[in-house]
Chain A
């Protein structure tokens, strides 16, 4: 059928032409070299890294970003970074209790005289939010709302890779002049100007053309966001003694957010293995039954 082959070839050519010219926009995130350990059907979270990532979240990101869908107890549940088989009920896990107790939250239940008062959090409470509401969050961040990070890895193309690259993608402070100008000399030629409170990042969705002094047909990829670069070497002091380079922190916090976005990911993959094996054997049995039942019928 040469004609269908011709049609197919034409279609393939069209698709390639289309995908080539659709380039542009933000830079495609690639994530850390060697990838994350939780990728692929057999991938699992690296608990130590998720633990460190929680520390980065607590000490850096939590001052602006809420994680409303997370509870302290999640940290100690099976699949969680601080799970301890000695405490099957995460509410009893002393580490989890200690993490919770460090945060003061406004109780959701009134006390005996009907007032709402501050108290240390318990494992069953949701993570403490930095702001009482979105308006307060906006007011404190120059009008931009720091998004809730509970499901951020599912809410962005590229997931954890995107978080990793976004955190590390900002230009070096040395490349930015006092007026917020960034000089481009290699792949792009021209100057990009950051408005006050706005930071250029090649991985952020957006449009650089309005701020670009140079050929608008070859403006740098990415866009601007209201979050300043957060990770500098040594920003946190890891409890486990790991050296806190910015790459290390980005890797850890991205993995922590990937876990938080789907705490049941490990259960999902191990259940998947059993289901796939079962279906495969079942399919094999049915295939041989089929062969046997039809053996005397030409069809």
Chain B
């Protein structure tokens, strides 16, 4: 914390020499060794450390993969397979990098939900939060670019869907699209620029992470009570060894789950179609993004209606980007004085509803919007034909035999045909629309109004007191894994 005096004492002559020139060891010591950290951080707080590890994992495996990868539409697919077959431990590199992206997103989502729950975005941590949102946006961009590189069917057609969205922007849309693709459609120029940018962005992320950690270390960590540190001696412990060991334990457990995927089910998070080489002439039956982008995809597809002069496609694009943009302003949408939802019983219910909405949006994103979830009635049969006056007519049946008899009873000239009339149903589209509404209502209506109207529970006076209250037999530490 900024108010905190440096306790670094250079010991060797070299350290003293360096300390008066570039006090790097002092910075590291004050940031990661003696940094006063609230003593009540639970396991939800270990995901920041987990994220740092995954950023390193992605960069290291990515650099080695790039040594063997060929960014050329004729060779990209085979070069990825060659990495898995002929490069020593290439299969490991590739599976770690591909599954690493998934686990990176899993961790960042937990990390962000954690922030939303404990009110970590509130003063004085707004800048910290915004930097986190920028990191998330960059992660989405990086993952999207990277998914293009294996040049499978999903790579190509997924990218096509997303880039075409830019075409929906009035006037400049088509221009932007051509500029992004480097031509009228996805081709070699696109693959090469996507590769170049996919290599660049993680280093931009690394830069923003440094700012993020800097912005964390000025106000210091928030904590599950949301009550700021009052007495450093009573409320905090030094980061090392207390949190190095706790974070370390959480990191290794997370890596254990990660390793189970890498070594035993490396392809379950991916899509089989991406092992079919890209072919612009064959469009896969279902185009879906990677799982971690499904909720945003569901929001995009939830908008099927025009509003005034703005057509549905453009509205969908706006909604999708707004779903991320709204995160940037959360610090000013939440009007509650109380940070932690531990003391906001009503807000807490809405928060759990929000988490459920995000998960369900993922499910909707993976499904066909027109598929029924709850059918209302049963499908019927329609026989369409032209009547004796040559006008189009139709008759509806429940039973197939009756429909067939009727159709066959009509003459040749009636040109009868039979089709299924889908029963009305509550479809994935409907569910997606409700959830999208809740997603935005949570930020734009519930958080602003609730803060003004709710009656929060009483907050503890200090971190120290809350610990004592939760743990009457102080001295026998019990880890608090979760709320």
- Which residues on A are within 8 Å of B, measured CB to CB? 3-4, 7, 11, 14-15, 17-18, 21-22, 41, 68-69, 74, 147, 150-151, 154-157, 205, 214-217, 262-264, 267-269, 271-273, 275-276, 279-280, 282-283, 286-287, 289-291, 293-299
Given A17-B373, A150-B81, A282-B252, A297 and B263 contact (CB-CB distance below 8 Å):
no
Q: How far is the CB of A137 from chain B (nearest CB, A)?
A: 14
Flag whether B239 is at the interface (Cβ < 8 A). Answer: no
**Which residues of B have CB within 8 Å of A263?**
85
1/0 contact trace for B16-43 toward A, CB 8 Å? 0000000000000000000000011100
Q: Which of B248, B264, B285, B379 contacts A269 (CB 8 A)?
A: B264
How would you classify the secondary structure of chain B's contact residues: helix, strand, loop or mixed? helix
Q: Are A294 and B242 in contact (CB-based, < 8 A)? A: yes
Q: Are A151 and B81 in contact (CB-based, < 8 A)? A: yes
Q: Are A268 and B272 in contact (CB-based, < 8 A)? A: no
Bound-state CA distance A295–B75 (Å) is 57
Q: Are A268 and B92 in contact (CB-based, < 8 A)? A: yes
Given A15-B363, A216-B420, A290 and B273 contact (CB-CB distance below 8 Å):
no
Q: Are B468 and A217 in contact (CB-based, < 8 A)? A: no
Q: Are A297 and B237 in contact (CB-based, < 8 A)? A: yes
Q: Which of B349, B374, B419, B425 contacts A4 (CB 8 A)?
A: B349
Flag whether B249 is at the interface (Cβ < 8 A). Answer: yes
- Nearest chain-A residue to B285 (Cβ)? A205
Known: A14-B431, A275-B263. 14 other contacts (CB 8 A): A18-B363, A21-B372, A155-B272, A205-B285, A264-B84, A268-B266, A279-B256, A289-B245, A289-B249, A293-B245, A297-B39, A298-B476, A299-B40, A299-B237
Q: Are B249 and A7 in contact (CB-based, < 8 A)? A: no
Given A268-B263, A286-B248, A286-B252, A155 and B85 contact (CB-CB distance below 8 Å):
no
Given A21-B371, A286-B252, A294 and B356 contact (CB-CB distance below 8 Å):
no
**Which residues of A have CB within 8 Å of B242?**
293-294, 297
Flag whether B448 is at the interface (Cβ < 8 A). Answer: no
Bound-state CA distance A151–B267 (Å) is 12
**Which residues of B have CB within 8 Å of A296?**
475, 477
**Which residues of A have CB within 8 Å of B91?**
262, 264, 267-268
**Which residues of B have CB within 8 Å of A295?**
477
- Nearest chain-A residue to B421 (Cβ)? A217
Given A21-B373, A264-B84, A276 and B266 contact (CB-CB distance below 8 Å):
no
Q: How far is the CB of B476 from chain A (nearest CB, A)?
A: 8
1/0 contact trace for B445-468 toward A, CB 8 Å? 000000000000000000000011
Q: Are A262 and B84 in contact (CB-based, < 8 A)? A: yes
Q: How far is the CB of B422 from chain A (nearest CB, A)?
A: 10
Chain B count of residues within 8 A CB distance of the other chain: 64
Given A21-B375, A69-B78, A298-B475, A154 and B419 contact (CB-CB distance below 8 Å):
no
**Which residues of A have CB within 8 Å of B127?**
none
Bound-state CA distance A146–B248 (Å) is 51
Q: Are A157 and B249 in contact (CB-based, < 8 A)? A: no
**Which residues of A have CB within 8 Å of B367?**
18, 22
**Which residues of A have CB within 8 Å of B479?**
299
Q: 29 A-B contacts, Cβ less than 8 Å apart?
A: A11-B360, A14-B360, A18-B373, A41-B263, A41-B264, A69-B78, A69-B81, A215-B400, A216-B420, A217-B381, A263-B85, A264-B91, A268-B95, A269-B263, A271-B92, A272-B262, A279-B255, A280-B256, A283-B249, A286-B245, A286-B252, A289-B245, A291-B477, A293-B242, A297-B39, A297-B477, A298-B475, A298-B477, A299-B39
Q: Are B360 and A298 in contact (CB-based, < 8 A)? A: no
- Nearest chain-A residue to B403 (Cβ)? A215
Flag whether B219 is at the interface (Cβ < 8 A). Answer: no
Q: How far is the CB of A128 from chain B (nearest CB, A)?
A: 17
Flag whether B199 is at the interface (Cβ < 8 A). Answer: no
**Which residues of B have CB within 8 Å of A275?**
259, 263
**Which residues of B have CB within 8 Å of A21?**
371-375, 425
Q: Which of A217, A272, A294 contacts B263 (CB 8 A)?
A: A272
Bound-state CA distance A205–B425 (Å) is 25
Bound-state CA distance A269–B262 (Å) is 10
**Which residues of A have CB within 8 Å of B419?**
216
Q: Are A17 and B477 in contact (CB-based, < 8 A)? A: no
1/0 contact trace for B417-444 toward A, CB 8 Å? 0111000010010010000000000000
**Which residues of A have CB within 8 Å of B95?**
268
Q: Are B259 and A276 in contact (CB-based, < 8 A)? A: yes
Flag whether B410 is at the interface (Cβ < 8 A). Answer: no
**Which residues of B have CB within 8 Å of A297?**
39, 237, 242, 477
**Which residues of B have CB within 8 Å of A215?**
381, 400
Given A69-B85, A268-B266, A275-B263, A290 and B249 contact (CB-CB distance below 8 Å):
yes
Q: Are B373 and A287 in contact (CB-based, < 8 A)? A: no
Q: How far is the CB of B15 from chain A (nearest CB, A)?
A: 26
Flag whether B253 is at the interface (Cβ < 8 A). Answer: yes
